């Protein structure tokens, strides 16, 4: 992601973008034949809606080209294999990975992190070795390391953030030591929106020969990511937050590293030969793709990437940045509302608390106005503890959101305050 | 739209949510249990003074939304002086109230009609299934305290 982006891009035609998303034209809470409220979808950080282009790519593949891949000698199998591998190449280009051999498909970003923990971690980490995380990690980038901790007696170190939610780079520098064997840090916080300085994080670790994993699930959605430029050793993201399908995650790994790692799961297309005397395994990425992979999903992700590229990642970033600024400004004017996470250059995510009203009550009431937000701790419980806020309300913006939808959010929050006399 | 909201957030609920009754830690409590909703982080401690099978005192502390706080507060009012069995029957009946249509309610044994009448204000939660866990959180904790367990999660049932 860029460290900063230009403000409003006047050329951005959000209405044209919205027309690509069928779900955005529906109403919610329809009653007895009466239309309800227009959907204001501000929960894209949890899962983004799908454009018609992705939906059609799924239908077309299933209707015309579907077959299992890599095994069949028949026409459809070859066609499906070609499209699947073209999808891998597209993801590689999307991340500017040096080769598609560095792209491993998993079930989710969570599984991709688990793969690294289970394969790289179990092989190369031993008792007393340290893994550095940050306090703003999603549970998916905490729990796999805790499982490894229980198994290998490794030590987890946590980089703090300041009151704005900016990663404490000095503390990070101090935590790096001879015992550090891996750094695993988010590229963009799903709660605070904080974008971490990935290039600096990687460079400081690499001075000591320590590999770095970035959780990019929120980052790839909001702007260009270049894994070679930031020099990531591992980079993970999920398809469904990038306007693609559920059930598909991506692990990028430097090929020389992937080659050193043993299989994580066994079976299916990841083998070279099997006998009861023993099994030999294929090279990466096949080595890490046991069983029939998510074929349709990879083709759908390729369509999602095409879609995002057709609009332009810089243009999307500028549009979302405008929404973030507008939302921050408008919400800041609401009495008793506190925004959690005010780092400069943050992604388009606004988490906030409202004095005297519990987020669950806020979520239920704004939903009646058609406004879909996330309430809770957003799978980042240590961060909620850090800011001593417990659950919060999170509005997350995507390429299809508008300033009018920000106004709808603010109006619904004001209605909550009136309802509760807060 | 607002009708449903008014049904969920009736004045009585808003009042109990803002001014919870029995929001304290009794010195002579001999049972306690923590109720936790892992989804939102809401936590309540329910304290009981249980003597010869009778709830002589019940109170709670913790934090939660308007629905869960009001439900906890009302619970402490209606189970005071009840036997453990009566309280459990009330819990099951209340649970049905929050989750089932009127005609689907099961027979959980004799319940205090006056208590159920008070609890009827929570019935609006039926229209908001995601909030059932809020409404029943403290009740789960009460149940756990009666059973001598020290904590319970609202994910365990509902």
How high is the ipTM of this complex? 0.83
- Whether A6 is covered by a domain: the verdict is no
Q: What is the pTM of this model?
A: 0.92
**Domain-terminating residue out of A270, A286, A309:** A309
d(CA A288, CA B154): 37
The pLDDT value given to residue A10: 55
Task: Judge if A98 and A186 occupy the same domain.
Answer: yes
Contact yes or no for B65 and A360 at CB 8 A: yes
CA distances (Å), origin A71, targets A79, A147, A231, A293, B37: 12, 35, 35, 12, 47
Do A268 and A384 lie in one domain? The reply is: no
Judge if A283 and A335 occupy the same domain: no
**Can you tell me the mean pLDDT for A220-238?**
97
- Residue A384 CA: distances (Å) to CA of A312, A328, A348: 34, 20, 19
Strands (E), A202-344: 212-215, 234-238, 249-253, 271-275, 278-281, 337-340
Please indicate, yes or no, if residue A157 is contained in any of the structural domains.
yes
CATH of the domain at A132: 3.40.640.10
On whether both A89 and A195 belong to a single domain, the answer is yes
What is the mean pLDDT of the segment spanning A32-55? 95
Listed residues A261, A278, A309: the one ending a domain: A309
Q: Is residue A19 predicted with pLDDT exceeding 70?
A: yes
User: Is the domain of A18 the same as that of A114?
Assistant: no
**Per-residue model confidence (pLDDT) at position A377:** 84
* DSSP string for A131-164: EEEETT--GGGTHHHHHHHHHH--EEEEE-B-TT
Task: Give the mean pLDDT of chain A.
Answer: 95
Assess whether A243 and A337 both reside in one domain.
no
Q: For residue A184, name the pLDDT band (cuts at 50, 70, 90).
A: very high
Domain membership flag for residue A7: no
The verdict on a CB contact (< 8 Å) between A391 and B40 is: yes
Residues A234 and A338 in one domain: no
Q: Does residue A78 form part of some domain? A: yes
- Terminal Cα distance for chain A, rounded: 38
Whether A36 and B1 lie within 8 Å, measured CB to CB: yes
Residue A4 in this model has a pLDDT that exceeds 50: no
A257 shares a domain with A191: yes
Instruction: Look at residue A9 and tell me if it is in a domain.
Output: no
Take residue A133 and report the two structure tokens written for it.
């995380």
A217 domain residue, yes or no: yes
Give the A-side interface with B, CB within 8 Å. 29, 31, 36-37, 357-361, 364-365, 368-369, 375-377, 381, 384, 390-391, 419-420
- pLDDT class for A169, splitting at 50, 70, 90? very high
A166-186: average pLDDT: 98
**Mean pLDDT (whole number) for A32-37:** 86
Q: Can A188 be counted among the known catalytic residues?
A: no
Structure tokens given for A185 = 């840090």
pLDDT tier at A2, thresholds 50, 70, 90: low
Residue burial A317-342, b: 16+ Cβ < 10 Å; e: rest = bbbbbbbbebbbebbeebeebebbbb
In the 8-state DSSP scheme, what is residue A270?
G
In this model, does residue A5 exceed pLDDT 50? Answer: no
Q: CA torsion sign, A144 to A150 to A156 to A161?
A: positive
Domains identified in chain B and CATH numbers: 1-153 (3.90.1010.10)
How many domains would you assign to chain A?
A: 2
Condensed to tens digits (0 to 9), the pLDDT of residues B100-146 reads 877 677 777 777 888 888 899 998 898 888 899 999 999 999 999 99
Contacts of B68 in chain A (CB under 8 A): 360
Contact A276, A252 (CB under 8 A): no
pLDDT value for A355: 94
Q: Is residue A31 part of a domain?
A: yes
Residue A61 shares a structural domain with residue A83: yes
- Which pLDDT does position B40 carry in this prediction? 77
3-state DSSP of B75-141:
HHHHHCCCEHHHHHHHHHHHHHHHHCCHHHCCCCCCCCHHHHHHHHHHHHHHHCHHHHHHHHHHHHH
Catalytic annotation, pick one of A103, A198, A242, A379: A379
Domain of A130, in residue numbers? 54-309
- From chain A, pick out residues whose CB is under 8 angstroms from the CB of B4: 368
| Strand pairing report for B31-37 and B151-153 | parallel
What's residue A205's pLDDT?
98
Indicate whether A256 and A211 sit together in one domain: yes
Asked if B120 has any chain A CB less than 8 Å from its own CB, the reply is no
- Which of B4, B67, B134 has its CB closest to that of A368? B4
pLDDT value at residue B54: 96
Q: What is the CATH number of the domain that holds A346?
A: 3.90.1150.10
Residue-level pLDDT at A1: 59
Please tell me which residue of chain A has the smallest CA distance to B43: A390
Which candidate from A360, A368, A377 shows the least CB-CB separation from B1? Answer: A368
Please write the tens of the pLDDT for every residue from A94-149.
Answer: 999 999 999 999 999 999 999 999 999 999 999 999 999 999 999 999 999 999 99
Is A259 a domain residue? yes
Which one of A288, A309, A330 terminates a domain? A309
Q: What is the pLDDT of residue A45?
A: 98
Split at pLDDT 50, 70, 90, the class of A7 is: very low
Instruction: Give the pLDDT mean for B78-93.
Output: 94
The mean pLDDT value for A277-299 works out to 95
* pLDDT surpassing 60 at residue A6: no
Longest dimension (CA), chain A: 73
**pLDDT at position A306:** 98
Q: Which two tokens stand for residue A70?
A: 């890599």
pLDDT (mean) for A220-246? 97
Nearest-neighbour CA in chain B from A411: distance (Å): 15
* pLDDT of res. B155: 65
Least confident of A41-55, A356-370, B2-16: B2-16
Q: What distance in Å separates the CA atoms of residue A215 and residue A143, rounded to the nearest whole number?
A: 13
pLDDT at B29: 95
Q: How confident is the model at residue B1 (pLDDT cuts 50, 70, 90)?
A: low
Cα B103 vs. chain centroid, distance in angstroms?
A: 22
Q: How many residue contacts between A and B have a Cβ separation below 8 Å?
A: 51
Q: Do A256 and A223 share a structural domain?
A: yes
Taking 80 as the threshold, does the pLDDT of residue A9 lie above it?
Answer: no
Query: What is the percentage of chain A residues whose pLDDT exceeds 90?
Result: 88
Which residues, at least 6 apart from A122, have a Cβ–Cβ distance to it below 8 Å?
A148, A151, A152
The nearest CA of chain B is from the CA of A327 a distance in Å of 24
- Nearest chain A residue (CA) to B15: A420
Identify whether residues A385 and A239 lie together within a single domain: no
Q: Check pLDDT > 70 for residue A8.
A: no
């Amino acid at each position: 992601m860029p460290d900063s982006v230009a403000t409003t891009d006047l050329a951005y035609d959000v209405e044209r973008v919205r027309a690509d998303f069928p779900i955005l034209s529906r109403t919610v809470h329809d009653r007895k034949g009466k239309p309800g409220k227009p959907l204001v979808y501000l929960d894209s950080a949890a899962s983004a809606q799908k454009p018609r282009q992705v939906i059609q790519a799924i239908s077309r593949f299933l209707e015309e080209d579907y077959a299992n891949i890599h095994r069949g000698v028949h026409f459809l199998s070859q066609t499906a294999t070609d499209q699947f591998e073209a999808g891998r190449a597209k993801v590689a280009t999307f991340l500017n990975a040096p080769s598609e051999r560095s792209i491993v498909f998993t079930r989710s970003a969570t599984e991709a992190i688990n793969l690294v923990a289970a394969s790289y971690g179990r092989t190369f980490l031993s008792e007393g070795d340290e893994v550095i995380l940050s306090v703003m990690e999603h549970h998916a980038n905490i729990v796999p390391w805790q499982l490894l901790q229980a198994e290998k007696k490794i030590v987890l170190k946590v980089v703090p953030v300041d009151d704005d939610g900016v990663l404490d780079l000095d503390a990070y520098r101090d935590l790096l030591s001879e015992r550090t064997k891996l750094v695993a840090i988010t590229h963009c916080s799903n709660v605070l929106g904080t974008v971490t300085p990935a290039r600096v994080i990687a460079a400081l670790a690499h001075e000591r020969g320590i590999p770095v994993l970035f959780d990019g699930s929120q980052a790839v959605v909001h702007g260009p990511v270049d894994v070679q430029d930031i020099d990531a050793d591992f980079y993970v993201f999920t398809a469904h937050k990038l306007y693609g399908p559920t059930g598909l995650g991506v692990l990028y790994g430097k090929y020389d590293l992937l080659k050193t790692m043993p299989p994580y799961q066994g079976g299916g297309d990841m083998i070279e030969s099997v006998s009861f005397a023993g099994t030999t395994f294929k090279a990466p990425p096949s080595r890490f793709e046991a069983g029939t992979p998510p074929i349709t999903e990879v083709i759908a992700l390729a369509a999602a990437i095409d879609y995002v590229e057709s609009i332009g990642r810089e243009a999307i970033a500028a549009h979302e940045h405008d929404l973030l600024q507008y939302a921050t400004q408008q919400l800041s004017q609401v009495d008793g509302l506190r925004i959690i996470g005010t780092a400069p250059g943050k992604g388009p995510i606004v988490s906030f608390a409202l004095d005297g009203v519990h987020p669950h009550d806020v979520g239920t009431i704004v939903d009646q106005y058609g406004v879909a937000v996330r309430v809770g701790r957003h799978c980042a419980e240590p961060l909620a503890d850090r800011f001593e806020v417990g659950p919060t309300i999170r509005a997350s913006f995507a390429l299809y959101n508008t300033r009018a939808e920000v106004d709808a959010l603010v109006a619904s929050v004001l209605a909550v305050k009136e309802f509760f006399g807060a | 739209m607002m009708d449903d909201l008014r049904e969920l957030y009736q004045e009585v609920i808003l009042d109990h949510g803002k001014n919870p009754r029995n929001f304290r830690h009794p010195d002579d409590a001999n049972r306690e249990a923590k109720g936790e909703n892992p989804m939102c982080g809401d936590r309540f401690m329910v304290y009981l003074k249980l003597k010869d099978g009778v709830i002589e005192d019940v109170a709670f502390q913790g934090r939660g939304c308007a629905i869960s706080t009001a439900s906890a507060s009302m619970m402490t009012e209606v189970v005071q002086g009840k036997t453990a069995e009566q309280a459990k029957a009330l819990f099951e009946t209340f649970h049905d109230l929050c989750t089932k249509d009127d005609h689907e309610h099961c027979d959980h044994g004799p319940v205090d009609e006056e208590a159920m009448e008070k609890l009827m204000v929570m019935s609006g939660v039926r229209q908001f299934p995601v909030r059932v866990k809020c409404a029943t959180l403290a009740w789960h904790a009460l149940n756990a305290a009666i059973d001598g367990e020290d904590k319970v999660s609202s994910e365990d049932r509902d």
